[in-house]
Structures are given as structure tokens and as C-alpha cells.
Chain A
């Protein structure tokens, strides 16, 4: 490779398909989804093109160069630092006029822009076409209509980009609306400050009109300057309106009906925007919305854990046992191989690792449904309809994204919290997400529940998921009411709903494959190695070697017995249970593989209350630290202090909850009547206390519904200006 190296960035509004294009162009598998803010980091990759190298970067989506959340500022900084040869501004054709708002801002700062109009195939289905030539003549930048679905389109995009960069042409768009704004006047007032701050004059002037906090801080204006600028009045809506008016002029007759496409449009019927409204009328119906959502989730769980997934997993497990374990252990026995080698190979590796591998079908199913919910656009509707509830506990509908993703993998879900604008809410979401039961915990419930609660297994598993979510919600209430540092109060919530899309097989496969790959790699590396280590440490001792069949204690037996008394009140104070919990810190699946290699569930949960202690163990597994990877993710998002807090929180919540479960269970088992009575009475008492408490709070304040609101009463100050500063 000789040639030059070009730098190209993909920028655009959220959910226009930047990452889909990026994956197409670079052959990557970055996560995509039909909702906003999937990409939270800048990623780049070098590709070869025509003897030249192109470093292509994918930026998080943004609406405007005035930013609101950390991931948007990554994009803004990247765009402003001026090191790119070309910005491919990705737009979505269904939403072109709104998308062009960002384009204008890019042109305002004089960035080299090429416009990629994505999802052009969706327009065809609606029987319309884009007059790219007309748009190009008016905007005077290259326009490339593409559909990220097709490889040929992506290739054409790179070709056009390279040609545009090589041509070295600087096309000048005439942004006529700027003449109507007092740009020159502003530049003459703040020019020097802009110089000192290293900003482009015009950019600084326009951003100042827009009241942009970032630029205003950088400019360090004197009081006199502020006063002089104040004379021009409130220009914020004027700037926005001017841009949109300009866009409307540009867009006139650009998207036109195409008669040759009429038949396609009729075939696809009401699909598209109006079709979306019709679906929303049903799905977002005031009364039906929540029941529909619960039904959908129940169906997902029933299929994944009960109807289909369970049998597939059992079949897979049976296959491993009959086709791997039995023949290998028999043949090893027939050649009289030493017991400890057979032990490591068969019990440690095949049973332990195979026991986890058997869950592959369920994990595939779980991610299939998560991908389906995500890609169709339904998950955004869930965020909208649950927002009313979540705002009451200091979270927003957007936290639901992160938390639902937590059913997949806690560590990756925590990273998606970056899209949340408010810092406190972000921290809270990060702290709560680990309580959502991730796919790694599934094997633990599944194995234990099938051993002790044969018939009720799907219900126990579903119950664990509900319990995790319930704990998260209760903690959110607790944080909001009692913990000043995490109290988010009233927050604004502005979120765009993506249109409904028919999920494509390719994208769903991509999401499943990404996650299955992670799962398989974990099974093959960390889990495999840990299983061998756990097996060795729990079956060997330093002084006496292999200890199975002898009275000597293994290494883990000593360590486990040291911690075991701590867990005695929870009903599983034996070294085997403690050992598996400890090894589960690295990866939750290891909990069950350790159990398998330590003699199976029946050897661990013994005594009169075996089933109950098994239940307490499941509760503990659900709620304690998911894995070190999640802790690392929390540290990345919220800092070391909050990671330590989260660690303590998870351990104490897990301990308390299993304690409560175990002893309430004991009570019910030993005295049925008293137990049931108490179980009924306690919710009644809690309910009464809550009602009384909220009634007392309402009376004490200004009469309006602003209990616990620290920022003044919204009824007194209708303009709401004090919110979100």
C-alpha cells in the first residue's frame, strides 16, 4: 500500500443508520438497534480503498452541535477538531428535513460534508422518489442516496467520498438565512474572545445566539459584551426557525411521487408513517398499553424458559452427556486411567463446561427476542409508556432501555446508560441495572430449580426475573426518597420514537451472533480455565494430593469453611456453596459449573430445608455482584467510588434478601397458618404506612402535588425555566 491516508467520519442524527453503514463499509459487527443512542463511543477502523487507506470513524448520533449528553459531546469534539478530510453526514430519507438541521450546522462551520441519504428503499415502498440532483444543486454538496442494506450502495458511498476528497474542491453552500441573522454584528462584538478561545468566529457568533453553554463558557464575555448582545433580544428561536425555513425551501419538490412505483406502494399498503400511527393507537392505548407490554414479556419468557428453550437445552445437555461424558469416562475407566485424571477431564471439564454450554439454545432465544423488540421499534414505545411510572421513582423511560438490555448482559447494558442526559439518573441506572437478571444467571436458576422444584421450574425462573426487577425498582424509590446524592427530582424527557420497522433477518442474526460469540468465547476461555482451577482446588490438598475418597480436606474446603459461617443463616453455610459463589465472581455461569464439579446440587443443598436453602441460594446468585466485567463497566461509567458503592450494595442486598426469603420460608414451612397470616399482613401494613406517609407529606407542602420537590413549585412558576439547568 502506498497512497495517502484519508480520515472520514460518519455523523448524523441518532437512529439514521450510521452504524449499519459503518458495519457495511468496514465489515465490522458493532451493535445496531432501532432506537436512539445505541452507539455511545467513537469507533474507527482502517479500510483499504484503491491503494489508499481510509480511516473511517463512527460517531454517536447528535441533533445539533449544541449537545446535551456526554456521548453527544464526543461527536461534537470530534467534528470541531477539524482533522477529518470528510464528514459523511448520514441522513434518513423519511426524516430528511429534520436531519438537514445538523447538516446546516456542519456547513456553517465550513466542514467538508457529503450527504448520504439512507433508507432510500423505504421511500420506494411508499411510492416516492428523491430528486437527488435537485437537492445537490440547491445544497451544493455531493448527495449519495444509499440503503445500508445493500453492499453495492456502501461501496458507491466510499467511491464518491474518495472522489470528492481527491477532487479537492471546496464547494461553497450559500447559507442565505445567515444574512438575516446579525452574525456580522456578533462577530464584531465577540471576535477577539473567539480568537482567544480558539473558535471559528462565525461558529462562536451563531452558538452565542443559540445560547450554547459550552461556547458561552469558552468565550468568557465581559459584562459590557453581554449587555451589548442582550440588545438583540432572544435569538434562539429565530436561529432555529431560520434554519428550518431554509430547509423547507430546499426540500420543496425534492421528494416527489413516482408513478412507476405506484404499484409497489399499493402493495406495501399503509406501511410507513401513517401505518405507524395506526399501530401506536393500539399499542399505546391508555388502558391496553401496559397489559400488552406485560403479555409480550410473559410470552418471551414463556417461550425462552418454558415451552421451547427448556427442551432444546435439555436435548443439548443430554447429547453432551451421552455422546461425550459417558463414552469418554467409560473408555478412560476401561484403560484404568487414574481417578484424578478422569475427574478433571470428565467432571471438571465436560460436566462443568458442558453444563453451561447446554444453555446455548436458551441464550440464543433470549437474544433473538431482545433483538426483535429492539429492532422493530417497540422498545422505544415501552420507554414512552413506562415513563409515567418511572418518572415517579426518579428514572426515565430511557432507563428502561438499559435495564431491558440488562436481561442480556449486565456489563454491556451498563455501557448503554451513557445515553442518559442527567448525571444522577445515569448513576442510578448504572447501579440498578446489575439487579436485572442477566443471561449468565439463567443456568444457575435452571439447574437448581429443576432439581428442587421440578414442575414449577418455569415459574421459579420467571419469579427470579421479577424479583430482580422488583428489587431494582424498590432501590430506585429508596434512592429517590432517602439518598440526596442520587435524588434526581424532576427531569425532562425528550425522546424521539423511531418508526416501526420490519426487523431484518440479517440484523437480528448479527445481534444474536455478537452475543453468542461472547458467550462461546467466555465458555471456551474463562469458564473453561476456572472450572479446571475450581476442580483442582476443591479436590486436591497441598499435603495429600487427590482427596476424593479420603478423609483429607481439599484447599477450597479450608477456604470455604472459613467463610461458610457467614452464610449459615441463609441456609447454605457449607464450603461447596460458598466456593461456587466465590468462583461466580468472575463469571456467573461458573456458579453452576462449580456446583456440578463439586458433586451436584443434591450434594450441596441437604437437610430438612434443602429446597428452601436452594431457593435462598438462587436469590443470592440473582442479586450479588454479576461479574468483574460489570464492575469494570460501572467504574468506567460512574467512577471508582460508585463502583465500590455498587459492590457493597449488591452484596448487602443479596444477603438481606436471601435471609428474608429463607426465614419467611422456614416460618411458612414450620407453621403454615402463622406464615400465611404474616405474609398477608405485612403488605397491608406496608401499604397503610405508605398511604399515611404520602398523605402527611402532601398536607405539609404548598397544596399542589410537589411532595419532595426541592426546586420550587411548578405551579407557581409556569414557565418551567428552573428545570434542568
Chain B
């Protein structure tokens, strides 16, 4: 499942980051590497944007970037 299908206030583990080009590179640079644990903190009121915390920081992601991140529940 991707980050778009997650529940808030839940912890997940990243399994894979798909896609190519800039968006994927930025995700990897920001620490969304496989095996990293993330916590889903919230979803924007109009939907489509999700707030996660990883490595002690908060990062907001839009649908397109979030859908590149595959996660599994831990």
C-alpha cells in the first residue's frame, strides 16, 4: 500500500520508493529510504496532502509524492 492509503496516528515502515525524476530524488534525500519508520500525523482538511514524521522531523507531502512511497504497517 502507498502513503495515500494510510490511517492517521499510525506507524508504518517504508518498503519502497517508486517513480523517477526530481520527486523521488527529493524524497530519498529527505530520508524516505526503505526500512525507515514513519508516523502519520495528519491529513490536510481538503485532502490530498498528508503530514508524516520521520527521523524526528515533520514533512508534508502531496498526493503525487505520497503515492510514490510504499509502506507496510508495523
- Where the two chains meet, the residues of A that have a C-beta atom closer than 8 Å to any C-beta of B are 63-64, 66, 68, 94-95, 97-98, 101, 210-213, 236-237, 239-241, 244, 273, 276-277, 280-281, 284-287, 289-290, 383-389, 391-392, 396-397, 490-499, 714, 718-721, 723-725
* Contact B51 A284, beta carbon cutoff 8 Å: yes
27 A-B contact pairs sorted by A residue (CB < 8 Å): A63-B26, A94-B56, A95-B57, A101-B31, A237-B16, A237-B17, A241-B34, A244-B31, A244-B36, A273-B53, A280-B42, A284-B41, A286-B42, A384-B49, A387-B46, A387-B62, A388-B46, A388-B47, A492-B23, A492-B64, A494-B65, A495-B60, A497-B57, A497-B58, A499-B57, A720-B23, A721-B18
Shortest beta-carbon contacts, A-B, top 4: A388-B46, A497-B58, A240-B28, A493-B62
0/1 per residue, B30-74, Cβ < 8 Å to A? 110111100001111111110101011111111011011000000
Residues of A within 8 A of B46 (CB): 387-389, 392
In the complex the two chains form, is B44's CB within 8 Å of A385's CB? yes
Is B61 in contact with A494, judged by CB distance below 8 angstroms? Answer: yes
* In the complex, B13 has a CB within 8 A of chain A: no
Contacts of B58 on A, CB cut-off 8 Å? 276, 280, 496-499
Q: How far is the CA of A357 from the CA of B35 in the complex (A)?
A: 59
B23 touches A280 (CB 8 A): no
B48 and A388 contacting across the interface, CB-CB below 8 Å: yes
Are A719 and B29 in contact (CB-based, < 8 A)?
no
Distance in Å from the Cβ of B52 to the closest Cβ of chain A? 10
* B62 A492 Cβ-Cβ under 8 A: yes
B49 contacts A387, CB within 8 Å? yes
Q: A280-B42, A286-B43, A724-B21 are in contact. Are A384 and B60 (CB under 8 A)?
A: yes
B33 touches A286 (CB 8 A): no
Q: Are A237 and B28 in contact (CB under 8 A)?
A: yes
Bound Cα distance from A63 to B26, whole angstroms = 8
- Tell me if A721 and B21 are in contact (CB < 8 A): yes
Which chain A residues lie closer than 8 Å to B20 at the CB level? Answer: 211, 721
Q: Which residues of A contact B16 (CB under 8 A)?
A: 237
Q: Give chain B residues whose Cβ lies under 8 Å from the Cβ of A97.
A: 31, 55-56
Chain B interface residue number, banded: 35 or more
Closest to B55 in A: A98
CB of B6 closer than 8 Å to a CB of A: no
A493 partner, pick from B22, B33, B60, B68, beta carbons under 8 A: B60
Q: Which of B19, B22, B25, B57 contacts A496 (CB 8 A)?
A: B57
Please give me the residue from chain A that is nearest to B54 by CB atom.
A98
A280-B42, A490-B64 as given contacts; A236 in contact with B26, CB under 8 Å: no
Contact B23 A724 (CB under 8 A): yes
> Do B60 and A68 have beta carbons less than 8 Å apart?
no
- State A496–B27 Cα separation when bound (angstroms): 11
Chain B residues within 8 Å of A495, by CB: 59-60
Question: How far, in Å, is A417 (CB) from chain B's closest CB?
Answer: 19
Q: Is the CB of B45 within 8 A of A388?
A: yes
Residues of A within 8 A of B62 (CB): 387, 391, 396, 491-494
Q: Report the minimal beta-carbon distance from A388 to chain B, rounded to whole angstroms.
A: 3
Q: Which residues of the partner chain A approach B33 to less than 8 Å between Cβ atoms?
A: 237, 240-241, 244
- Take A492-B23, A496-B59 as given contacts and tell me if A277 and B41 are in contact as well, using a CB distance cutoff of 8 Å: yes
Contacting pair A720 B44 (CB below 8 A): no
Would you call A493 and B57 a contact (CB within 8 A)?
no
Q: With the chains together, A98 CA to B25 CA distance in Å?
A: 15
Which B residues are CB-close (under 8 A) to A384? 42, 44, 49, 51, 60
The answer, among A66, A383, A723, for a CB contact under 8 Å with B29, is A66
Hey, which chain A residues are within 8 Å of B64, CB to CB?
A: 490-492, 714, 720, 723-724
